Chain A
Amino acid sequence: MRQEEDSLLVRQCLDGNQKAFEELVDRYQKPVFNLAFRFTTDTEDAEDITQTVFVKAFEKLSTFDPKYKFFSWLYKIAVNESINFLNRKRDFDRFDETLHSKQREEETAGDPEMTLAINNALLELKPDYRILVILNHFQDLSYREIAYILDLRENTVKSRLFSARRVLRRVLMKKGIANA
């Protein structure tokens, strides 16, 4: 149902109805922002990435294949942008300093200490593990959807995800969280 609605919005947008794109922004800015935020743990960076993702989506809308889910296609752009962003950050040699010094202060819902610890633990994962944990645990995507987004085989997704979990458990255990 959602998929059909999204495809309709895309068609309307391609027909020149830009209100339809606004609707797509309304629907997906939060998950895209969250994906970027979990990846960078920096609000401003997440905003920048989200902005770029939607601009690219807008520009490439005609290449969207409606046999796939729109959000999977959008996440694909979001993942690529997040990874490119980190690479650019690394180029400037500011990545670690920024990621480890900035934490979102507004994010106080739930247990803030736990959230902070999990954010820091995620940062200790290498990016290709981190993105798998984010897509699986925070975005609730299936192996198949993740495989499409990351251009991997499902079996590769599974084996990397399971390895990522093992590393994450170890990191969290070191931090005294999740007596895993």
Chain B
Amino acid sequence: MVRAIAFTPLELRQGAAQKIFYIHVPAAWVAFLAFALVAVASAVFLWLRDQRLDRFAESSAEVGVVFTTVVLITGPLWAKPIWGTYWAWWDVRLVSTLFLWFIYVAYIVLRGAIESPELRARYSAVLGILGAMLIPFIHLSVYLFATLHPLPIVAKASKPSLPGEMLLTLFVSLAAFTLLYIAFVRARYVYATERDRIAAAEVVDA
């Protein structure tokens, strides 16, 4: 149902390369939203120590990394025809997304390396918060790099103003992707809750 909404806008004929835009941008929106929520959940977890917040952060991170990967794959695919290059080191958003990906991976690897649920939750929360603090610095660093370096002559990455039809499609895509995010996180959260419940039962029985 949710997916049907996502796919209908993609049928608007706007040119093959442009269509990627409707996946790339909403995926980026969800990728960053997911991490913002991880950071918030982490902060509140450290304050309240409620395990449910940790499970939510875990779920949001795993869903977020998938969306981030989508952004990083569609980004170069879109960039090559439009900018003439697969990767742009001056593009603040693209590089920030790359670092978001690095932090997601670090988060997931960290969780995988810790057995104890309490320790895992605490460490992940610290990384979640610090990771969120890093992104603005990456943003600023790349911005400084881009402005202080003579740029190759390239179309600026800022969005041209979109005709109404495309804008509507974009918003529908955004809504669709957000719904997808919620659906995936819910499913993942249920899995995490079940898994923890079983693990706890085993410990008590032992």
Say whether A associates with B: no
